[in-house]
Amino acid sequence: MAALYCSCEQKPQIWGEFWWTGEKHDWIFFDDRETSETYAERITSCRACGQQLERKNLKALTYPA
């Protein structure tokens, strides 16, 4: 599991998991905002900007130590 966020202005949090999807491994993304209507549901685009979610377009969320 990876804590991620879209690089758009609103920076919504997303969690990603690397799953085996038939013939290959692929990133699967989920809504990580508890107050969202789609919380914990699989998503394919950013709820804020509509951009298609791809791991290379997302930033890793870092937590202070």
Predicted confidence at residue 51, as pLDDT, reads: 95
Predicted confidence at residue 36, as pLDDT, reads: 86
Mean pLDDT in order along the chain per 10 residues (65 residues):
91 92 92 88 94 94 75
Dihedral class, residue 11 (left if φ above 0, else alpha if ψ from -120 to 50, else beta): left
C-alpha distances (whole Å) from 39 to each of 22, 42, 54, 55 are: 25, 9, 19, 19
Task: Please say whether the beta carbons of 5 and 16 come within 8 A.
Answer: no
pTM for this entry: 0.82
C-alpha distances (whole Å) from 44 to each of 20, 23, 63, 64, 65 are: 17, 19, 25, 28, 31
Predicted confidence at residue 29, as pLDDT, reads: 96
